Amino acid sequence: MSGKFLGLSTADQTSLLRLAILGLISAVAVGSRLYSVIRFESVIHEFDPWFNYRTTKYLVTHGFDKFWNWFDETAWYPLGRVVGGTLYPGIMVTSAAIYNALHLLNLPVDIRNVCVFLAPVFSALTAIATYLLGKEVKNATAGLLAAAFIGIAPGYISRSVAGSYDNEGIAIFLLVWTFYLWLRAVRLGSALNAAFAAISYFYMVSAWGGYVFIINLVPLHVFTLLAMGRYSNRLYVAYSTFYALGTLSSMQVPFVGFQPTFTSEHMAALGTFGLIQIVAAANYIRGQLPAQQFQTVVRSAVVVLFAVGALALAVLTARGVIAPWTGRFYSLWDTGYAKVHIPIIASVSEHQPTPWPNFFFDLNLLIWLFPAGIYFSFRELTDNHVFLILYSVFAAYFAGVMVRLILTLTPIVCVMAGIAMANLLETYSRNTPSTVNGSAPISTGKRLYALLPRAAVVVNFIFFLFMFQWHCSWITSTAYSSPSVVLASRSPDGSQHIIDDFREAYYWLRKNTRPDARVLSWWDYGYQLAGMADRTTLVDNNTWNNTHIATVGRIMASNEDKAYELARHLDVDYVLVIFGAMLGYSGDDINKFLWMIRIAQGVYPDEVNEQSFFNHEGQYSIGDDASVAMRESLLHKLCYYRFSEVMGPQSFDRVRKQRLPSKVELDNFEEAYTTENWMVRIYKVKDLDNLGRSHHMAAEFAGPREPGFSPF
Looking at residue 558, what is its pLDDT?
Answer: 95
**In which band, very low, low, confident or very high, does the pLDDT at 331 lie, cut at 50, 70 and 90?**
low
- Amino acid identity, position 377: S
Instruction: Reply yes or no on whether the pLDDT at 121 is more than 60.
Output: yes
For residue 696, the number of C-alpha atoms closer than 13 Å in the C-beta half-sphere is 4
Looking at residue 312, what is its pLDDT?
Answer: 75
Instruction: Reply yes or no on whether the pLDDT at 693 is more than 80.
Output: no
Highest mean pLDDT among 90-94, 457-461, 687-691: 90-94
* Beta-strand pair 487-490/496-499: antiparallel
Which residues, at least 6 apart from 74, have a Cβ–Cβ distance to it below 8 Å?
Answer: 80, 530, 535, 536, 537
Instruction: Reply yes or no on whether the pLDDT at 366 is more than 90.
Output: yes
Q: First vs last Cα of the chain: how many Å apart? A: 84
Instruction: Give the angle subtended at the CA of 61 by the CAs of 57 and 67, to the nearest 5°.
Output: 75
- Kind and range of the H or E run holding 72: strand 71-72
Looking at residue 611, what is its pLDDT?
Answer: 93
Name the percent of the chain lying above pLDDT 70. 89
Read off the pTM. 0.90
At 204-249, the pLDDT tens digits run 999 999 999 999 999 999 999 999 989 999 999 999 999 999 999 9
Asked if 51 and 72 touch (Cβ cutoff 8 Å), the reply is no
Asked if 669 and 686 touch (Cβ cutoff 8 Å), the reply is yes
What are the beta bridge partners of residue 683? 575, 671
- Please give the average per-residue pLDDT across 13-39, as a whole number: 93
Rounded to 5 degrees, what are φ and ψ at 23? -65, -40
Looking at residue 300, what is its pLDDT?
Answer: 73
- Please give the average per-residue pLDDT across 606-617, as a whole number: 91
455: left (phi over 0), alpha (psi -120 to 50) or beta: alpha
Asked if 214 and 180 touch (Cβ cutoff 8 Å), the reply is no
Looking at residue 711, what is its pLDDT?
Answer: 45
Instruction: Reply yes or no on whether the pLDDT at 706 is more than 60.
Output: no
- Rounded Cα distance between 1 and 5, Å, is 9
Residues in the chain: 712
**In which band, very low, low, confident or very high, does the pLDDT at 700 lie, cut at 50, 70 and 90?**
confident
Instruction: Reply yes or no on whether the pLDDT at 306 is more than 90.
Output: no
Instruction: Reply yes or no on whether the pLDDT at 155 is more than 80.
Output: yes
- Rounded Cα distance between 539 and 662, Å, is 33
Closest CA relative to residue 660, chosen from 632, 621, 629, 633: 621
Looking at residue 291, what is its pLDDT?
Answer: 66
Looking at residue 11, what is its pLDDT?
Answer: 82
Average pLDDT, the chain: 88
Looking at residue 705, what is its pLDDT?
Answer: 59
Looking at residue 237, what is its pLDDT?
Answer: 96
Looking at residue 375, what is its pLDDT?
Answer: 95
- Rounded Cα distance between 550 and 182, Å, is 43
Looking at residue 264, what is its pLDDT?
Answer: 82
Instruction: Reply yes or no on whether the pLDDT at 161 is more than 70.
Output: yes
Instruction: Give the angle subtended at the CA of 173 by the CAs of 112 and 54, to the nearest 5°.
Output: 25
Higher pLDDT: 452 or 28? It is 28
- Please give the average per-residue pLDDT across 372-396, as a whole number: 95
Strand residue runs (E) in 494-604: 496-499, 518-520, 536-537, 574-578
Name the percent of the chain lying above pLDDT 90. 63
- Rounded Cα distance between 660 and 640, Å, is 8
Looking at residue 278, what is its pLDDT?
Answer: 86
Looking at residue 66, what is its pLDDT?
Answer: 95
Closest CA relative to residue 163, chosen from 523, 486, 522, 521: 486
- Among 334-343, 594-603, 607-616, the range scoring the smallest mean pLDDT is 334-343
Other Cβ atoms within 10 Å of 361 Cβ, number: 17
- Among 235-244, 336-345, 461-470, 488-497, the range scoring the smallest mean pLDDT is 336-345
At 461-484, the pLDDT tens digits run 889 999 999 999 999 988 898 888
At 52-74, the pLDDT tens digits run 999 999 999 999 999 999 999 99
Instruction: Reply yes or no on whether the pLDDT at 325 is more than 50.
Output: yes
Higher pLDDT: 259 or 306? It is 259
- Among 326-330, 456-460, 599-603, 631-635, the range scoring the smallest mean pLDDT is 326-330
Looking at residue 179, what is its pLDDT?
Answer: 97
Instruction: Reply yes or no on whether the pLDDT at 709 is more than 50.
Output: no
Looking at residue 712, what is its pLDDT?
Answer: 46
